[in-house]
């Protein structure tokens, strides 16, 4: 290999971990928003979607305020678990989480809304618990939409740049993700290295989209139409 591949491994680690948490949180949040009406629901939804419309630098600034050495969450994490978020790969994972959560949330919510409520009601009349209905009816029937959201979230996470740079900084070998590697190689005039990473990350994107399309077709054939 012409270059050190640590940015790729770090980007994959950051994206996989943030996507995992995005997956769990989105499933629960979208379920709550899909099924319950409560005071302030619109405000909660606006807060979830806010990162979509904010510049990455604003998100990065917000994360520094929250997780910085004097930020409320930063102090708590340091006191309870003894670790810092700023200038670490964990900061990059948190930045990826925040920017990809709204994408995953929207996909999951749309996927839940496509599940005909009659299917869940039939299962209820048959005496089946809510937990089992979710596991055996709602989740499998929403899966193709959830999967599309997962891929989007992963791609957004792996491509995150602005907020990551602000909270995690650029420390080669420590917080150097692929997008940061591309930018700083370009800044240093190393076009060859920039192009190398551009090709790597573009190949990952093409592979992800191809796989999602294949999987969607396969799932559609298996489920069919009633």
In the complex, minimum distance from the CB of residue 137 to another protein, in angstroms, rounded to a whole number: 6
Q: Which of 50, 137, 198, 212 binds another protein (CB under 8 A)?
A: 137
The site for another protein, by CB under 8 A, has a size of 21
Residue 145 and residue 108 in contact, taking contact as beta carbons nearer than 8 Å = yes
Smaller CB separation from another protein, 140 or 169: 140
Is residue 36 a contact residue for another protein (CB under 8 A)?
no
Is residue 223 a contact residue for another protein (CB under 8 A)?
yes
Got the DSSP string for 57-75? Answer: HHHHHHHHHHHSTTSHHHH
Is residue 222 a contact residue for another protein (CB under 8 A)?
yes
Q: Which of 113, 116, 187, 192 binds another protein (CB under 8 A)?
A: 116
Got the DSSP string for 143-205? Answer: HHHHHHHHHHHHHHHHH--HHHHHHH---TTTT--HHHHHHHHHHTT-HHHHHHHHHHHHHHH
Smaller CB separation from another protein, 15 or 141: 141
Q: Which of 57, 121, 203, 210 binds another protein (CB under 8 A)?
A: 121
- Within 8 A by CB and 6+ apart from 224, the residues are none
For residue 140, what are its two tokens? 């499998």
Q: Which stretch binds another protein (CB under 8 A): 46-54, 82-90, 193-201, 216-224?
A: 216-224
Q: How far is CA 171 from the centre of its chain?
A: 23
Q: Which stretch binds another protein (CB under 8 A): 32-40, 90-98, 103-111, 125-133?
A: 125-133
Distance CA 74, CA 67 (A): 4
Q: Is 167 exposed, middle or buried (0-12, 13-18, 19+ CB in 10 A)?
A: buried
Is residue 119 a contact residue for another protein (CB under 8 A)?
yes
Q: Which of 77, 110, 128, 212 binds another protein (CB under 8 A)?
A: 128
Is residue 34 a contact residue for another protein (CB under 8 A)?
no
**How wide is the angle at C-alpha 196 spanned by C-alphas 184 and 14, nearest 5°?**
65
Q: Which of 8, 92, 104, 123 binds another protein (CB under 8 A)?
A: 123
């Amino acid at each position: 290999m012409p270059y050190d591949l640590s940015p790729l491994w770090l980007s994959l680690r950051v994206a996989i971990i943030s996507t995992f948490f995005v997956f769990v949180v989105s499933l629960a949040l979208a379920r709550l928003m899909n099924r319950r009406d409560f005071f302030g629901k619109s405000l909660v939804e606006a807060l979830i979607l806010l990162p979509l419309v904010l510049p990455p630098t604003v998100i990065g600034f917000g994360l520094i305020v929250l997780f910085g050495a004097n930020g409320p969450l930063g102090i708590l994490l340091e006191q309870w678990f003894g670790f810092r978020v700023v200038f670490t790969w964990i900061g990059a994972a948190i930045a990826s989480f925040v920017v990809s959560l709204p994408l995953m949330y929207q996909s999951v919510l749309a996927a839940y809304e496509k599940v005909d409520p009659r299917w869940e009601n039939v299962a209820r009349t048959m005496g089946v618990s809510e937990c089992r209905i979710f596991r055996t009816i709602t989740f499998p029937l929403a899966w193709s939409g959830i999967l599309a959201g997962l891929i989007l979230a992963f791609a957004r996470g792996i491509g995150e740049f602005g907020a990551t740079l602000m909270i995690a900084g650029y420390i080669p070998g420590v917080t150097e993700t692929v997008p940061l590697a591309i930018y700083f190689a370009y800044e240093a005039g190393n076009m060859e290295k920039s192009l190398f990473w551009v090709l790597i990350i573009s190949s990952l994107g093409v592979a992800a989209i191809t796989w999602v399309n294949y999987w969607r077709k396969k799932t559609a054939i298996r489920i069919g139409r009633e």
